[in-house]
């Protein structure tokens, strides 16, 4: 997977911690946290050199081996631990990157030590890594290492992965050393994030504080006298677990026996609820206990029926916010049991220690409900572990919307942990969920976790890293040469001629569909990304005089933004022409008597939309596989996931009937119908856009049936290009988004003289 190159891991902690007992004897145990859970199984297979701290102060140890890994310890003194680890890493960055749930402290001595310790890590790697190795740096404690390492060893390919969220730019802006942190990260060839929002936030932050432009997922770091320019891929790669390994433990008879014992030890209550977290203020443990306490107090749950087991592994115990949390949690646990327990029965069991993997899995099997309610979490692997273990398709996962895992685990009971009433309702619902519903949800969750396990993740992430490594062309100075080459060879002859004519016109409108045209189609819509070269071409065109760039998409503007598309200065229409930004079309009315284009919903429309939403929810909401997607001006009904195709057709027919009865406009797609209160389409919005701009010919590219409304509206001087197969009114055709991009690049180059780089 690493293309035969040596792999070097770098993280604050090694995958094992050295534990010194009171009698002075030492032993090793697995390090805490999700980083090791996710990453260790991959590198155990691949073999690697791992550089990190052993978890205890002032330990000077020679490199040693465990299995296929060679571990090279980095020493941390008591002062380093206080200033770099507890201070800057966990007193500044951790709270800042987790939505400032706790107040971050900014101290110059902490920062100073953070830099020095990062330098020490970089030097240790530089000493140890083989020539041309792939070095993979982990997490917020080591954000300066990529640039420091590049300086020391330009021959290495450097990857970075942030296991925690990246904060929105307005929060990151608080950090006095923000520019240095971004520059540190930009030393990497690939920067991986947990979620789209993290990657988008980083790219915006990088643009804001270091003025490096981002083209799609790619950031271009300009060259200097000593270093040529380079590109950095900054993209989301949601991390996962070795699902099969958990399943294997869960299948062992002695583990299942242990699960039964755990239930028996708890008094065989009707419901066992479980929480498993590091004792961290980001995990929402206080909120969870409050909800549980109130439910007992209100009499909504009977302490005789339910036991809540909270496993909290000790973490960062000398940091103030953690110490306070521990005191508070322990007080609350005592109070709840004091008020609601009885002799021989405590409704709340609190275990403040680490457990073996086997014991964790037995707990997962024993639990009817798992509560994962962080206020903010990069991913949360506990949620995925629970699902991976439940081969019996039973058990309910209650999951915070603010955990990265919520992006994937849509069939969990999703909650906002700040909403205590909502959390209470979810707990009650989970405790009473019928077995059949549990099965349906768990089945779908398991599919997601197995389809997206850590091997899948490693293929994507390490695949990107390997691609970066392959593109390295070391020159004599040891620096790679700039890979950008121009190629418009793709563009078919007949289109080439037409594009040359358009490029020479005084005014021009360049318009395009998004999915399938600028961005290749991917299985999950939120994963779609504009091709970097297409984005660059459109950006160059937008900056050219008398040239207007418009994107016309069926997505809502919000859905488009989720792809990370940066379209400042572009005209963008969403929801098939119902939404418009980037152009004031004034009082230009929509079709017929409709309200003006781009105007918000009228009261009447809002009311109508609410009515049909309620009706769809009632009639179709409980149907397995049907997805109702709320759009700004309507609702889309998706039946792609309905297992039986005949049933899918019937359900869709029912939806159409309901929609027509409510006077909605229906738009047809592949296994989706959109019901909209406004009668707009891409053709009508393009007409309005043209009317608001100086008279100019249009180049339009599109791949979908809905793009035909544009193609049929084009005149003699315009050029319509269909992307892909299928009947069309367009005069030209290209096979795929890559060729569509080549057309845009050619146009941009001819119109401006600026060369558009290849991807
Ligand atoms: P974080 O990385 O913030 O700690 P995750 O949920 O992503 O959170 O990962 C936590 C990992 O630590 C999981 O693999 C979980 O099984 C493990 N873990 C949590 N608590 C304990 C515990 N008390 N004993 C052993 N392992 C634990
Ligand atoms: C989270 C972080 C890791 C960290 C782990 C344990 O998973 O993302 O980087 O190692 O928590 O925290 P600790 O401070 O004990 O290393």
**Across 28-38, average pLDDT:** 89
675 three-class SS: strand
Residue 250 belongs to a domain? yes
Q: Does one domain contain both 225 and 369? A: no
Domain-ending residue, one of 218, 236, 254: 236
**Ligand 1 pocket member 311 (CB < 6 A):** yes
State the pLDDT confidence band at 419, using cuts at 50, 70 and 90. Answer: very high
pLDDT at 320: 95
- Mean pLDDT check: name the lowest of 30-44, 85-99, 165-179, 336-350: 30-44
To test the pocket of ligand 1, the residue of 13, 37, 350, 386 to mutate (highest count of ligand atoms within 8 Å of its CB) is 37
As given in the structure block, the two tokens for residue 149 are 């390492």
Q: Does one domain contain both 736 and 688? A: yes
In ligand 1, which atom is closest to the CA atom of 351?
23
pLDDT at 482: 39
pLDDT at 220: 82
CA distance 380 to 368: 19
- Residue 380, pLDDT above cutoff 80: yes
In ligand 1, which atom is closest to the CA atom of 276?
20
Active site residue 703: no
State the pLDDT confidence band at 96, using cuts at 50, 70 and 90. Answer: very high
**Ligand 2 pocket member 55 (CB < 6 A):** no
Distance 206 CA to ligand 2 centre (A): 25
Q: Does one domain contain both 167 and 186? A: yes
Residue 688 belongs to a domain? yes
| CATH, residue 618 | 3.30.70.1020
Which residue's CA is minimally distant from atom 12 of ligand 2? 33
Which residue's CA is minimally distant from atom 14 of ligand 2? 316
Which residue's CA is minimally distant from atom 1 of ligand 2? 33
Tokens 């050219």 locate to 544
Between strands 396-400 and 634-638, the pairing is: unpaired
pLDDT at 21: 85
In ligand 2, which atom is closest to the CA atom of 89?
14
Is the pLDDT higher at 645 or at 292? 292
Q: Are 236 and 195 in contact (CB under 8 A)?
A: yes
Distance 11 CA to ligand 2 centre (A): 10
Which residue's CA is minimally distant from atom 8 of ligand 2? 163
Residue 370 belongs to a domain? yes
Q: Does one domain contain both 443 and 308? A: yes
Say which ligand is closest to the CA of 317. Answer: 2
**Ligand 2 pocket member 139 (CB < 6 A):** yes
pLDDT at 459: 84
Q: Does one domain contain both 723 and 703? A: yes
State the Cα torsion 213-159-531-224 to the nearest 10°: 30
Q: To the nearest whole number, what is the mean pLDDT of the chain? A: 90
Q: Are 121 and 145 in contact (CB under 8 A)?
A: yes
**Ligand 1 pocket member 388 (CB < 6 A):** no
**Ligand 2 pocket member 33 (CB < 6 A):** yes
Distance 403 CA to ligand 1 centre (A): 14
Q: Are 593 and 606 in contact (CB under 8 A)?
A: no
State the maximum Cα–Cα separation within the chain, in Å, rounded to a whole number: 89
User: For residue 136, with 0-12 CB atoms within 10 Å meaning exposed, 13-18 middle and 19 or more buried, which class applies?
Assistant: buried
Percent of the chain at pLDDT exceeding 70 = 95
- Residue 481, pLDDT above cutoff 50: no
Q: Does one domain contain both 553 and 689? A: yes
Domain-ending residue, one of 642, 659, 676: 676
Q: Does one domain contain both 263 and 337? A: yes
Tokens 């549990």 locate to 438
**Ligand 1 pocket member 30 (CB < 6 A):** no
Tens of pLDDT along 670-727? Answer: 788 999 988 888 999 999 999 999 999 999 999 988 899 999 999 999 999 999 988 8
Between strands 634-638 and 672-676, the pairing is: antiparallel
**Ligand 2 pocket member 34 (CB < 6 A):** yes
Q: Are 633 and 601 in contact (CB under 8 A)?
A: yes
| Catalytic-role residue among 139, 277, 368, 377 | 377
Q: Are 560 and 526 in contact (CB under 8 A)?
A: no
To test the pocket of ligand 1, the residue of 15, 33, 374 to mutate (highest count of ligand atoms within 8 Å of its CB) is 33
- Residue 590, pLDDT above cutoff 50: no
Residue 257 belongs to a domain? yes
Question: Across the strands, what pairs with 312?
Answer: 277
Q: Does one domain contain both 419 and 291? A: yes
**Ligand 1 pocket member 559 (CB < 6 A):** no
Which residue's CA is minimally distant from atom 5 of ligand 2? 33
pLDDT at 23: 87
Domain range enclosing 629: 603-676
| Catalytic-role residue among 163, 287, 340, 638 | 163
**Ligand 1 pocket member 278 (CB < 6 A):** yes
Q: Are 385 and 375 in contact (CB under 8 A)?
A: no
Is the pLDDT higher at 752 or at 598? 752
As given in the structure block, the two tokens for residue 681 are 């389409």
pLDDT at 475: 37
CA distance 421 to 425: 6
DSSP result, 455-466: HHHHHHHHHHHH
Which residue's CA is minimally distant from atom 12 of ligand 1? 33
> From start to end of 329-439, where are the E strands?
348-351, 369-372, 396-400, 413-415
**Ligand 2 pocket member 163 (CB < 6 A):** yes
Q: CA 687 → CA 27, 603, 697, 715, distances in Å?
A: 73, 26, 12, 11
Distance 86 CA to ligand 2 centre (A): 11
In ligand 1, which atom is closest to the CA atom of 353?
23
Active site residue 377: yes
Residue 408 belongs to a domain? yes
pLDDT at 586: 64
To test the pocket of ligand 1, the residue of 16, 245, 313, 352 to mutate (highest count of ligand atoms within 8 Å of its CB) is 313
- Residue 198, pLDDT above cutoff 80: yes
Model-level pTM?
0.69
| CATH, residue 55 | 3.40.50.2000
Tens of pLDDT along 640-664? Answer: 888 888 888 888 988 998 888 888 9
Q: CA 223 → CA 469, 474, 481, distances in Å?
A: 19, 16, 11
Tokens 């020493």 locate to 75
State the pLDDT confidence band at 476, using cuts at 50, 70 and 90. Answer: very low
Q: Does one domain contain both 670 and 689? A: no
CA distance 478 to 26: 44
CA distance 313 to 280: 9
Tens of pLDDT along 424-443? Answer: 999 999 999 999 999 999 99
- Residue 497, pLDDT above cutoff 90: no
Residue 36 belongs to a domain? yes
264 Cβ contact partners less than 8 Å away, ≥ 6 residues apart: none
**Ligand 1 pocket member 381 (CB < 6 A):** yes
Domain-ending residue, one of 647, 676, 705: 676
Which residue's CA is minimally distant from atom 6 of ligand 2? 33
In ligand 2, which atom is closest to the CA atom of 35?
7
Q: Does one domain contain both 529 and 622? A: no
**Across 338-352, average pLDDT:** 95
Q: Does one domain contain both 173 and 247? A: no
In ligand 1, which atom is closest to the CA atom of 315?
4
**Across 399-414, average pLDDT:** 96
pLDDT at 2: 58
**Ligand 1 pocket member 360 (CB < 6 A):** yes
In ligand 1, which atom is closest to the CA atom of 33?
4
**Ligand 2 pocket member 32 (CB < 6 A):** yes
Say which ligand is closest to the CA of 313. Answer: 1
- Residue 593, pLDDT above cutoff 70: no
Tens of pLDDT along 48-58? Answer: 999 999 999 99
**Across 187-204, average pLDDT:** 93
Distance 372 CA to ligand 1 centre (A): 12
Residue 560 belongs to a domain? yes
The total number of structural domains that make up the chain: 4
Residue 461 belongs to a domain? no
* 3-state SS, one letter per residue, for 118-150: HHHHHHHHHHHCCCCCEEEEECHHHCCHHHHHH
Q: Does one domain contain both 200 and 232? A: yes
**Ligand 1 pocket member 259 (CB < 6 A):** no
pLDDT at 759: 45
CA distance 486 to 475: 20
């Amino acid at each position: 997977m690493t293309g035969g190159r040596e792999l070097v891991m770098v993280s604050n902690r090694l995958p094992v911690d050295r534990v010194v007992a009171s009698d002075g004897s030492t032993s090793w145990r697995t390090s805490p946290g999700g980083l090791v859970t996710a990453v260790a199984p991959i590198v155990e297979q691949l073999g690697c050199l791992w550089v990190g701290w052993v978890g205890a102060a002032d330990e000077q140890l020679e490199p040693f081996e465990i299995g296929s890994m060679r571990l090279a310890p980095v020493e941390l003194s008591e002062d380093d631990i206080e200033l770099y680890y507890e201070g800057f890493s966990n007193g500044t960055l951790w709270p800042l990157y987790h939505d400032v749930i706790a107040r971050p402290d900014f101290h110059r001595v902490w920062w100073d030590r953070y830099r020095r310790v990062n330098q020490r890590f970089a030097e240790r790697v530089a000493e140890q890594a083989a020539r041309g190795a792939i070095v993979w740096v982990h997490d917020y404690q080591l954000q300066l290492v990529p640039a420091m390492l590049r300086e020391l060893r330009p021959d290495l390919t450097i990857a970075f992965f942030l296991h925690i969220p990246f904060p929105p730019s307005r929060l990151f802006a608080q950090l006095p050393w923000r520019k240095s942190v971004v520059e540190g990260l930009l030393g990497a060839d690939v920067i991986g994030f947990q979620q789209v929002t993290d990657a988008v936030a980083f790219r915006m932050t990088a643009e804001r504080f270091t003025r490096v432009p981002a083209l799609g997922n790619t950031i271009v770091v300009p060259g200097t006298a000593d270093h040529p320019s380079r590109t950095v891929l900054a993209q989301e790669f949601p991390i996962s677990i070795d699902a099969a390994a958990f399943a294997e433990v869960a299948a062992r008879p002695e583990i299942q026996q242990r699960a039964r014992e755990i239930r028996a030890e708890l008094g065989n209550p009707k419901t066992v609820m479980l929480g498993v977290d590091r004792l961290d203020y980001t995990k929402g443990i206080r909120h969870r206990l409050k909800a549980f306490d109130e439910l007992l107090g209100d009499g909504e749950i009977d302490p005789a029926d339910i036991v809540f087991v909270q496993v909290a592994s000790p973490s960062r115990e000398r940091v103030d916010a953690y110490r306070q949390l521990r005191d508070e949690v322990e007080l609350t646990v005592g109070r709840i049991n004091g008020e609601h327990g009885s002799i021989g029965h405590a409704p709340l069991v609190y275990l403040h220690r680490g457990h073996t993997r086997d014991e964790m899995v037995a707990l997962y099997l024993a639990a009817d409900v798992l509560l994962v309610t962080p206020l903010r979490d990069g991913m949360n692997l506990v949620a995925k572990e629970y699902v991976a273990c439940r081969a019996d398709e039973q058990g309910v996962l209650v999951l915070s919307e603010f955990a990265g895992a919520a992006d994937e685990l849509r069939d969990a009971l999703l909650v906002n942990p700040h909403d205590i009433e909502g959390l209470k309702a979810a707990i009650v619902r989970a405790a009473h969920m019928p077995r059949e519903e549990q099965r349906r949800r768990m089945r779908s969750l398991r599919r997601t976790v197995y389809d997206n396990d850590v091997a899948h993740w490693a293929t994507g992430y390490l695949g990107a890293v390997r691609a970066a490594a392959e593109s390295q062309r070391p020159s004599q100075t040891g620096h790679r040469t700039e890979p950008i080459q121009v190629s418009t060879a793709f563009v078919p002859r007949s289109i080439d001629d037409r594009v040359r004519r358009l490029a020479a016109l005084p005014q021009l409108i360049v318009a395009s569909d998004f999915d399938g045209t600028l961005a290749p189609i991917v299985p999950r819509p939120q994963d779609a990304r504009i091709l970097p070269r297409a984005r660059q071409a459109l950006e160059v065109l937008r900056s050219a005089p008398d040239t207007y760039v418009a994107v016309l998409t069926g997505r809502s503007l919000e859905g488009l933004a989720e792809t990370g598309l940066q379209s400042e200065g572009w005209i963008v229409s969403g929801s098939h022409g119902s939404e418009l930004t980037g152009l004031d079309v004034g009082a230009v009315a929509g079709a017929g008597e409709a309200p003006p284009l781009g105007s918000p919903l009228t009261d009447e429309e809002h009311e109508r939309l609410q009515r049909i939403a309620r009706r769809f929810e009632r009639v179709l909401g409980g149907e397995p596989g049907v997805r109702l997607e709320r759009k700004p001006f309507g609702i889309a009904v998706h039946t792609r996931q309905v297992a039986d195709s005949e049933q899918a057709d019937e359900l869709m027919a029912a939806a159409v009937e309901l929609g027509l009865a409510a006077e909605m406009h229906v738009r047809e797609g592949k296994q989706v119908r959109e019901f909209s209160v406004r009668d707009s389409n891409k053709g009508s919005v393009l007409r309005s856009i043209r009317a608001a701009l100086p008279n100019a010919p249009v180049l339009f590219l599109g791949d979908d049936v809905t793009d035909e409304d544009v193609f049929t509206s084009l005149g003699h001087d315009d050029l319509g290009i269909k992307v892909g197969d299928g009947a069309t009114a367009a005069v030209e055709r290209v096979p795929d988004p890559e060729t569509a991009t080549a057309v845009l690049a050619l146009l941009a180059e001819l119109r401006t003289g600026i060369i558009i780089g290849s991807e």
